[in-house]
Amino acid sequence: MKKKSFVLQKIKEYLSNKKFAIQRRIHPGIREQHRLDSLVGPRGYWNELQEYQLNFLKSKGMQSHHTLLDVGCGPLQGGIAFISFLDSNHYFGLDIRSESLVEAYKQVTRYDLIYKNPNLILSDTFGKIELNGQQFDFIWASQILYHLEPDTIHRFFEAVSLHLKPGAYLYGDIIGAPNKVVQDSHWNGFRFYLHSFSFMDDAAREHGLSMKHIGQIGDYGYPIAIALHTNDMFEFQKIRT
């Protein structure tokens, strides 16, 4: 039954993509959405992936008064939902690409969210320099960690250990099984790395963080039609001493 459901989902996806391909040729708004989709991943899933991100963090206890650091925020696929939900000045988005942040600012304007005063920051240090020790209730690194080489993973955890409040949480995922992703393959200029559980756990502990496997992202509403739904999700906290 599960296999039949998956096949039907793939057929639905194929037909939707065909329809979308025709529509974007004649409708400027659809062409624009197609361009934004291409910056973040699978095309045609913007709303579903946005909903997945917000619902995940809400399911883990994020409330409007909490502060959030969104690592690799891109053009705000999840960010728009986060900004809308959180209190003013409580959303911080980091990205390594200036062009992504240009698109992010456009999205903030498009959705009339300037009054929420979101903080969008260009950084290649995961905010270690730019945030000057500021700490957060939640850190979100959705579909980012498997694009980081091992040495960069250590730099990431080093920065996170500075940014997490006591009792706060970091959530991030790595490539899970089954999956056809190959080590050192590329997407949009970013390389894929197949990190093991043991490597992630050792790297986190080296920087004072505990790690807990909490299932696959497909368990939390990530679309099962996308191959990456088998990614493994982890929860990190500072180790209490």
Give pLDDT tens digits for 144-173. Answer: 999 999 999 999 999 999 999 999 999 999
Q: Which of 38, 88, 48 is nearest to 68 (CA)?
A: 88
Is there a contact between 238 and 161 (Cβ–Cβ < 8 Å)? yes
As a whole number of Å, the CA-based R_g of the chain is 18
The amino acid sitting at 116 is K
Give percent of the chain above pLDDT 70.
81
Residue 18 has pLDDT above 90, yes or no: no
- pTM, two decimal places: 0.84
- Report pLDDT for 12: 55
- Rounded CA gap, 176 and 46, in Å? 22
- Report pLDDT for 24: 46
- Report pLDDT for 187: 66
Is there a contact between 118 and 98 (Cβ–Cβ < 8 Å)? no
Is there a contact between 40 and 101 (Cβ–Cβ < 8 Å)? no
User: 59 CB contacts (<8 Å, ≥6 apart)?
Assistant: 220
* 225 three-class SS: coil
* 233 three-class SS: strand
